[in-house]
Structures are given as structure tokens and as C-alpha cells.
């Protein structure tokens, strides 16, 4: 449901523990202006929408974040 909200609505209210767990992957995305985090609310910015798949992957427990396992999002 969380990943679906990111991909469909480009925003989601996150449980605090998930936000903390995803924080290392979110830092470069927020620095690049692709994501905005306000408290526990995450918003994919207009410029971040093409990268929604990458942003959602930060919250996918099945996604292996090591390089070379999955196809790249263009």
C-alpha cells in the first residue's frame, strides 16, 4: 500500500520507523530535490516523478540495494 501510494499519488504518510530505516537512501534524493519530507509526510516533487520507482524502492523490503541485481530505471 505504501509503495502504491508513492507510485500513484506521489505522496504518503509514513510510519516513523519506516522513515528512519529508509533515511540513508532518501538523503541523496532529498538533496537532489526529488523528494520532500515534512515530518512523516513524504512528497515526490514534480522533478522527482520520473524517479518514483527508485523512490518507492527505498521502502521495498524485497529490493536488494546492492548494485547489479535489478534493471535500472531510466
Per-residue confidence band for 11, with pLDDT thresholds at 50, 70 and 90 = very high
Residue spans of the domains in the chain: they are 2-57
pTM above 0.95, yes or no: no
Question: For 34-69, how does the pLDDT look when each residue is reduced to its tens digit (9 = 90+)?
Answer: 999 998 899 999 999 999 999 998 888 786 655 655
pLDDT at 61: 76
Residue whose C-alpha cell reads 518507492 in the numeric block: 56
What tens digit of pLDDT does each residue of 25-43 get?
Answer: 888 999 999 999 998 899 9
Q: Are 11 and 42 in contact (CB under 8 A)?
A: yes
CA distance 10 to 50: 11
CB 58 within 8 A of CB 25: yes
Protein fold of 2-57: Arc Repressor Mutant, subunit A (1.10.10)
Distance CA 33, CA 48 (A): 7
Radius of gyration of the chain (CA): 11
Phi, psi for 63 (deg, rounded to 5):
-80, 125
Amino acid at each position: 500500500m505504501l509503495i502504491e501510494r508513492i507510485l500513484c499519488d506521489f505522496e504518503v504518510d509514513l510510519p516513523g520507523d519506516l522513515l528512519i530505516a529508509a533515511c540513508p537512501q532518501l538523503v541523496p534524493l532529498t538533496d537532489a530535490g526529488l523528494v520532500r519530507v515534512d515530518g512523516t509526510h513524504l512528497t515526490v516533487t514534480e522533478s522527482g516523478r520520473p524517479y518514483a520507482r527508485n523512490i518507492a524502492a527505498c521502502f521495498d523490503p524485497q529490493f536488494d540495494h546492492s548494485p547489479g541485481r535489478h534493471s535500472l530505471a531510466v
